[in-house]
Structure 1
Amino acid sequence: MRTANLCLLAFLIGAGYSQPPTAFFGVRLLTQVRADSETTRWLWYNDLAQHATVSLQVYHDSGYGAYIAQRLQNIRGDRTRTALDEFYVERVGGWRVGKFYAPFGAGTLLNESVVAAQSPTRFAIGDLPMRVAYVFNGKDRQQGVLVRVGTQNGGVSVGVGRHFGTDPHAFALWQLPEEPRAPQGYETLYGADWRPPILERTLLLEWVYTESDSLPDTHWLSLRWEPVGSRWRPDLRLAYQSHANTFSWRVALQQTFAERFRAALVFRGNQGTLQFVAIELRGEL
């Protein structure tokens, strides 16, 4: 937390020499009430490991910005042990340095909050957009490089390092965030994501292959489909893992109200078993 404050203070001091920056205070509301066969729980995060936060955003006319967000509740078993969700400084639309969610590929399977430096660039062959993130999240935590080459409609990715996939936010579509992750993690990642041209606004497919010296090499597949034209805005997600040879599924029936808020009835299961039913509320203040 001290590092985050120092980064934000340095940005404000630097910006203050020219003209005052613009600041925004925000609240991202996200609460989920889950009911399973044993208990009912009220949580300030959801089963995809997305958090409710309070935040401060600071932007300057020169194109630089800073962001800091605090979680309302940590996930049980999260080794981070801090409520700090993100803090970073950035060139808006460009580089970013600090602690933030650095997705691997499209981020439907692997999207961990890490200390990193990320920058967009161009791939030499075909002049395609490329995103590079250098990750150093501390000893025995995520370290390495994550690269994605491609557009919003599809791309390929690779990651090299250590301890990827060890946080509750990793593979949360296949495994609930409260369930423990292997602390060894993965060293090598390969991936591809694709939005079919006809259904690019509603369908997203992603494949990830993970390698490790201490864990089985594994294929992961995910599908997200949001059909249009329905009053309840259904959101269907599937995730498959080859080592366990099982798939998880999630169906959310969503309804928007008061413009900035959305309620959802969520059903989540593994194979043919229903794990829980939940009511989820999210919005921006």
Structure 2
Amino acid sequence: MVRSFLALGLLATSAWVAAQAPDVTINLDLRLNGRTALNQRNTQRLYDVLGRPSLVKLKVKFDLGLNVVINQRLQRIDNDGDPELVDEAYVEDPGVWKVGKVVAPFGQGAFLRETVWGVQGTVDVPFLNGTASLMLADSGRRRQSGVVGRIVLRSPGIGLSAAIGNHWGINGSTFALFRDVNQSPGQGAGYGAIFGLDFSKRIGTVSWRAELLRATRPERTADEAITAFDLSATTTSLKNWRLTLGYTRAVGADFYRVAPEIMLNKNISFEPMLRMRNGNLRDFSVSVHVRF
């Protein structure tokens, strides 16, 4: 019911702002991914092993300052808890509010990336030198609903996040650092409470990121609470390429990843990724990432 109301509100708002003189841009963000793993069949998909999708992006800017954004996935993730090909669809006053289907404001996206229907507001918090975002979400029966909040302190680079409600963690792109992207438990599963703490800082040519997550109140009795930690370092010291090294501790195992990104030109990059679990090969994948 709430999702239907949001969809109608999105349509009505879009019709209202259509009376203005729009600036329309259409972009393609294409990920051609091939993956191989021991004892599994090779796959070729339009999303990578972290659940980052190929998208057709439409953005309409209006003179009164509002934007309409629609991002359409070219392929749905297998077993995804989100049955829709629409990745995002919302009206926004940039940096102030969004209404529609948006990425929930949680962490840096390392562990939890969920696109959900809802209303989101963001405000500056001057005395903390930061920002605060709050989202009321309802994606429908057996899908994500509840409240998501995030506070970011700019100066130390620290973020605090929380998602409270029902069925958080069911999207394929969530937990992809330690759960195969196609092994989401699906609708009706997930967690009732997820908390996160993250940190980011650039030192010289290296960008450091760390994120700690705790998922509790599992919806199914067969599932257990999750504590996960991720640390990554990305260097941009060499021309036209960068290298990310990452370590994740979760579900009683150690996960490692090596991910170079080689820019072939300003629109095309070559992105291999080697991942290991407890010292054994987990998988190897290659993405050709095209943006125009």
Give me the TM-score of the superposition, normalised by structure 1: 0.89
Q: Secondary structure at the match of 2:17?
A: helix
Cα separation, 1, equivalents of 2:14 and 2:190: 37
Corresponding residue for 1:235?
Answer: 244
* 1:88-137 deviation line (CA, Å, top 9, x unaligned): 11012221111121142222111111112111124596464111111111
Corresponding residue for 2:214?
Answer: 209
Q: Secondary structure at the match of 1:14?
A: helix
Matched-pair identity in %: 25
Corresponding residue for 1:186?
Answer: 191
Are residues 54 and 5 of structure 1, via their aligned partners in 2, closer, same or farther at CA, if it must alter by over 3 Å? farther
Matches within 5 A, 1:97-246: 97-123=99-125, 126=128, 128-152=130-154, 153-181=157-185, 183-196=188-201, 198=203, 202-212=207-217, 214=221, 215-231=223-239, 232-241=241-250, 244-246=251-253
Cα separation, 2, equivalents of 1:248 and 1:135: 32
* 1:70-92 deviation line (CA, Å, top 9, x unaligned): 21111111133221111111012
Q: Secondary structure at the match of 2:77?
A: coil
Give structure 1 regions of 4+ aligned residues with deviation exceeding 4 angstroms: 1-9, 122-125
Amino acid at match of 1:223: L
Cα separation, 1, equivalents of 2:10 and 2:147: 25
Cα separation, 2, equivalents of 1:105 and 1:221: 12
Q: Secondary structure at the match of 1:226?
A: strand
Cα separation, 1, equivalents of 2:102 and 2:11: 18
Cα separation, 1, equivalents of 2:202 and 2:285: 33
Does structure 2 conserve the Cα–Cα contact (< 8 Å) formed by 1:4 and 1:88?
no
Are residues 196 and 80 of structure 1, via their aligned partners in 2, closer, same or farther at CA, if it must alter by over 3 Å? closer
Q: Which runs of 5+ in 1 are unaligned?
A: none
Does structure 2 conserve the Cα–Cα contact (< 8 Å) formed by 1:160 and 1:189?
yes
* 1:225-272 deviation line (CA, Å, top 9, x unaligned): 10231354111222221xx31122221121102212111121122221
Corresponding residue for 2:271?
Answer: 264
* 1:2-38 deviation line (CA, Å, top 9, x unaligned): 9898666534432243x31111111111111112234
The CA deviation at 1:206 is: 0.6
Number of aligned residue pairs: 282
C-alpha RMSD over aligned residues: 2.5
